[in-house]
Structure 1
Amino acid sequence: MKSKTIILGLLAVSGLLTNFSAQKKATKTKINTTKMQESYPFQQYAKVDLTTDISHLTTKEKEVLKLMFKAAKVMDDLFWQQAYGDKTKLLSKLSGEAKDYAVINYGPWDRLNNEKPFVAGVGAKPEGATYYPTNMTKAEFEKADVKDGKSAYSVVKRDAKGKLYAVPYSVEFKTKLQEAANYLNEASTIAEDEGLKKYLKLRAEALMTDNYYPSDLAWMDMKNSNLDLVIGPIENYEDQMFGYKSSFEAYVLVKDVEWSNKLAKFVKYLPELQTNLPVKAEYKKEVPGTDSDLNAYDVVFYAGDCNAAGKTIAINLPNDEKVQLEKGTRRLQLKNAMKAKFDKILVPIATSLIDESQQKNIKFDAFFSNVMFHEVAHGLGIKNTVNGKGSVREALKEANSALEEGKADILGLYMVNQLLQKGELSGSKEDYFVTFLAGIFRSVRFGASSAHGTANMIAFNYFAEKGAFEKSVNGRYKVNVPKMEAAMNGLSELVLTLQGNGDYDGVKKLYAEKGIIPTDLQKDLDKLKTHNIPVDIVFEQGPQMLGLK
């Protein structure tokens, strides 16, 4: 999962949560390049140079890094195919700002405005992107019982007679995947770290076979490399029809050894934190893997799904529940991207909306910890239902993503609170709680089309109902720490119970009741727009930013 970590709607997001089960049918209309928007909201993105110091890397590490960039660019092309289709065909019909905006959004739909088309003649974005036929209904798919149709690594198509069938990614995207695999194999022969060498080789094999389990295990065992590469079909946010299909993406990463050493001590507390979760014992009986680790990285390249509009600032992987239960997960904090969002977005938001008496509580260390423990919290709670409905992901289908992000948000704050009480974190509850509230204002702007946006709408409305904050006459918000602590525990219990029960209808009801932006909050978000506060960031990135040729 990502803190998409980690991820964002235009300021004028719709008041009501999109009904995830509603079937949208794409209208196949020719693009009209003469009647496009007159202007595009580039001001909602702050431009950031994505770079880091690589002077400590060896000559061979720098060669590996160059190959990582090349493999990552292949993932970018593959995600375009998944999200839209023929990238070249679309971009050849656009020019100027329209073309630039399509590049940011990986298609003609505005990801920060609930996927609204910004090119004339383009219909609504299909809920299933290109993973399924655009004229396929949910009912048809479920009735057809397509072999491997629910696989995270297959594309569903129709044959000449209209019958649905599935094609593995390794077949559908064979040419591009072979290109990426070649780069990874070459990097594997150069890599000096044995863990990285093994991972790159196995990941190359995975791209060609759709069997990612061995490479996931190798990635979990990779502890000492200065470089890292997250690559392949990973997250399922783009499939808003069922949430089954994984999207191609890549992060090229350089390890921050100093910050990583600071984080290592927290892993040992995971079993204790799981045991202490504020929910009945049956919903926390699973034991998280103890081979997990926490590390900080500077990210030097985003590609594909993670680069589409809102940018991820932390990663918790692998997503495979089997790997999570066997070995846990790795949590990667993308420190340079996180700092950019804090400086350019969170601080200006807090200046506008947080009570003056609590401005001093907005701190980067608190923001970093809240985001970090969001990722850690993905590994806590429950992965399989308590009543025989299978995994939580299977039981909740397309409704799973937003609830899982909400779980990570609230359990991350719970973990921070627990570690503060143990004296393992510095600062005050007020620092973390106030910074968390400012983070909600940041994330609700992602909109209803984002799992993170929906999750934060639910948290805001639940906190408001429980009196976790007050709004003064001057329109600023002030956190009530004791009430927010109580609301944190209550929301944690609610989410974990819904997940453990595989309660699809209950989750949809929660979205309908609390996955909305109240009118008063919408006015505050509109105020941020008038202050020209960015919604997210875009990057100037690539090997040239690191001085690599």
Structure 2
Amino acid sequence: MKKTTLLVGLAFGASFFTGCATSEQHGDKQEVASVPKVDHLVDYTDFTLTADLSKLSSNQKKMIKKMIQVSEIMDNIFWKQAYGDKNSFIESLKTPELKRYAEVNYGPWDRLQDNRPFVDGVGTKPIGANFYPKDMTKEEFSKLQNQEKSSLYTVVIRDSRGELKVVPYSKEYKAELDKASSLLLECAQLAKDPGLKKYLELRAKAFLSNDYFQSDLAWMDMKTNPIDFVVGPIENYEDKLYGYKTSFEGYVLIKDMEWSKKLEKFASFLPELQKGLPVENKYKTELPGTDSQLNAYDVVYYAGDCNAGSKTIAINLPNDERVQEQKGSRRLQLKNAMRAKYEKILVPISEVLIDPSQRQHITFDAFFANTMFHEVAHGLGIKGTINGRGTVRKALKEHASALEEGKADILGLYMVSQLHKKGEIDGKMEDYYTTFLAGIFRSVRFGAASAHGVANMIRFNFFKEHGAFQYDEASGYYMVNYEKMEEAMNALSAKILTLQGNGDYQGVAELVKSHGKITYDLQKDLDRIDDANIPTDVIFNQGVEVLGL
């Protein structure tokens, strides 16, 4: 877990690091980006992903090896979605350090620095990544007469005549998905758990059919399997043009049975908490699924979207609203990755920015709970607009992800406060509130290119305006005003839920513009974190050899 400063010492690579600005046209918007200096590039800390495999059978260990193979395929597809041809790009880079940094970012754009290019001459990252033609305008897209154009599982390309054409993932990535499907069927043959076996078989079929609904339902039905595999096109963060298209990824997970047993009761409180949300009744008429699950895992392999830039430490899936309505969702807490970020990043940040009188309230249990209830809170609120504008995701387009993450952040804290009042969780509320503030400083460093980064800035600025967070200029420390926290929490909860329920695209755009940016004063404090050489995120040592397989 030593500190790794990627690209330090690359000042001699002048052809890659110049001060000039480059630009690239995408759709209706012209954006300009400059190549950052070497000392502005992000620091990461190493962490080795391991787990106790001693209780696993020979077949289960073989299954993990095959799952890692499938994950590597997901990784290759994500490279195509995020940038293009990986091999030719990596080979064009001059130094091992630069190649490694490009691998971490899945391309030449620094994901934790608002996607600024760190390789000269590549231009601004297309906001639609490789899901759409780079020269496509929104007007052109709107005129395309194909109902699959906004599907989660299609790309839009130009045909030989230059006309827009919609292609399913199963065809666009056919060679890779055929191989992945075969490997999943081999995994299924090794599986003894009937739920896992069914899921793997259906997921293998989904890669070929482009229909993931049945496999998502099967994944929800798994209850007792010690091994889990989250794999496929899942999150839509990479598509910043519309937020429609999903990216391929893979997590190989070992379930912590003891921790999971402790957590299983919390999802049952969702219907009760939904009724108590601090918003008008018309925004909380939907009933959360009653089959939701909450479990803890050690993750042993990351690939694709979840491995790009900032690393995921908790999962809430499936994203399909139909599945959520029928089955609820599953929340997976990635305990070993969470512990790494707490010890190596969150605690050091608190020592720089949190007032010494409140530092005793920074605890791992509070960090774990805040993260966990963030994922559970995705199940609260509303999925469909109340005024006929369709799903919240479709109505809010590219802003949907940031606002949904903001909702989960704030309603997660709401859940903590309500369950604490009921005596269902231990510890002091001061622990949860103070760790919540320190967590914002950790996550906001992911930058405005991240939906989580935007969500954190909205939350930080809103809470500071309401006096819940206070700053002492003389000392340079932040403090939580515990008395004002609940008031600010309820006010922001109501605002976000109302925006989502109304499908208010313009209102969300205004909120992002007014509150979703890092202010000059805050940036000075974040610079103090960098000056203290605190890493921004982690990179993983992982794979079959690391696991001893």
The 8 Å contact of residues 112 and 309 in structure 2, kept in 1 or not, is answered as yes
The 8 Å contact of residues 154 and 169 in structure 1, kept in 2 or not, is answered as yes
For residues 26 and 431 of structure 1, the distance between their equivalents in structure 2, rounded to whole angstroms, comes to 42
Q: CA deviation at 1:393?
A: 0.5
Q: CA deviation at 1:63?
A: 1.0
Q: 5 Å matches for 1:272-351?
A: 272-351=272-351
Q: How many residues align?
A: 521
Cα deviation digits, residues 399-430 of structure 1 (max 9, x gap):
11100000000000000000000001101110
- Please name the residue that 1:75 is paired with: 74
Are positions 1:506 and 2:510 aligned together? no
For residues 260 and 393 of structure 1, the distance between their equivalents in structure 2, rounded to whole angstroms, comes to 30
SS in 2 for 1:112: coil
Cα deviation digits, residues 484-536 of structure 1 (max 9, x gap):
11100000000000000000000000011111112211110000010001110
The 8 Å contact of residues 345 and 535 in structure 1, kept in 2 or not, is answered as yes
TM-score of the aligned structures, taking structure 1 as reference length? 0.93
The 8 Å contact of residues 24 and 124 in structure 1, kept in 2 or not, is answered as no
- Please name the residue that 1:92 is paired with: 91
The 8 Å contact of residues 236 and 244 in structure 2, kept in 1 or not, is answered as yes
Q: CA deviation at 1:98?
A: 1.3
For residues 101 and 41 of structure 1, the distance between their equivalents in structure 2, rounded to whole angstroms, comes to 13
For residues 145 and 275 of structure 1, the distance between their equivalents in structure 2, rounded to whole angstroms, comes to 41
For residues 40 and 60 of structure 1, the distance between their equivalents in structure 2, rounded to whole angstroms, comes to 47
For residues 367 and 187 of structure 2, the distance between their equivalents in structure 1, rounded to whole angstroms, comes to 35
SS in 1 for 2:285: coil
* Corresponding letter in the other structure for 2:528: K
Cα deviation digits, residues 48-80 of structure 1 (max 9, x gap):
011111111111111111111111110000000
- Please name the residue that 2:407 is paired with: 407
- Please name the residue that 2:144 is paired with: 144
* Corresponding letter in the other structure for 1:171: K
* Corresponding letter in the other structure for 2:509: K
- What is the Cα-based RMSD across aligned positions, in Å? 1.6
* Corresponding letter in the other structure for 2:150: K
Q: Relative to structure 1, is the Cα distance of residues 454 and 38 closer, same or farther in structure 2, using a 3 angstrom cutoff?
A: closer
SS in 1 for 2:229: strand
Deviates more, 1:39-48 or 1:381-390: 39-48
Q: Relative to structure 1, is the Cα distance of residues 496 and 349 closer, same or farther in structure 2, using a 3 angstrom cutoff?
A: same
Cα deviation digits, residues 275-314 of structure 1 (max 9, x gap):
1111000100000101000000000000000000100000
- Please name the residue that 2:59 is paired with: 60
Q: CA deviation at 1:37?
A: 7.7
The 8 Å contact of residues 254 and 297 in structure 1, kept in 2 or not, is answered as yes
* Corresponding letter in the other structure for 1:246: T
* Corresponding letter in the other structure for 2:149: G
Q: CA deviation at 1:41?
A: 6.0
For residues 27 and 161 of structure 2, the distance between their equivalents in structure 1, rounded to whole angstroms, comes to 26
Q: 5 Å matches for 1:229-244?
A: 229-244=229-244
- Please name the residue that 1:46 is paired with: 45
TM-score of the aligned structures, taking structure 2 as reference length? 0.93
- Please name the residue that 2:457 is paired with: 457
For residues 38 and 399 of structure 1, the distance between their equivalents in structure 2, rounded to whole angstroms, comes to 30
SS in 1 for 2:148: coil
Q: Relative to structure 1, is the Cα distance of residues 129 and 26 closer, same or farther in structure 2, using a 3 angstrom cutoff?
A: farther
The 8 Å contact of residues 25 and 134 in structure 1, kept in 2 or not, is answered as no
Q: CA deviation at 1:470?
A: 1.6
* Corresponding letter in the other structure for 2:508: V
Q: Relative to structure 1, is the Cα distance of residues 341 and 68 closer, same or farther in structure 2, using a 3 angstrom cutoff?
A: same
Percent identical: 60
The 8 Å contact of residues 248 and 304 in structure 1, kept in 2 or not, is answered as yes
For residues 462 and 120 of structure 2, the distance between their equivalents in structure 1, rounded to whole angstroms, comes to 39
- Please name the residue that 1:101 is paired with: 101
SS in 2 for 1:545: coil
Are positions 1:110 and 2:110 aligned together? yes
* Corresponding letter in the other structure for 1:340: A
For residues 28 and 228 of structure 2, the distance between their equivalents in structure 1, rounded to whole angstroms, comes to 39
Q: CA deviation at 1:42?
A: 6.7
SS in 2 for 1:149: helix
SS in 1 for 2:467: coil
Q: Relative to structure 1, is the Cα distance of residues 499 and 249 closer, same or farther in structure 2, using a 3 angstrom cutoff?
A: same
The 8 Å contact of residues 159 and 165 in structure 2, kept in 1 or not, is answered as yes
Q: Which has the higher contact order (CA 8 A, sep 6+)?
A: 1
- Please name the residue that 2:521 is paired with: 520
Deviates more, 1:230-239 or 1:160-169: 160-169
- Please name the residue that 1:471 is paired with: 471
SS in 1 for 2:101: helix
* Corresponding letter in the other structure for 1:64: M
SS in 2 for 1:523: helix
For residues 521 and 267 of structure 1, the distance between their equivalents in structure 2, rounded to whole angstroms, comes to 36
Q: CA deviation at 1:147?
A: 3.9
Q: CA deviation at 1:40?
A: 6.8
Q: Relative to structure 1, is the Cα distance of residues 228 and 24 closer, same or farther in structure 2, using a 3 angstrom cutoff?
A: farther
Stretches of structure 1 that go unaligned for 5 or more consecutive residues are: 1-20, 28-34
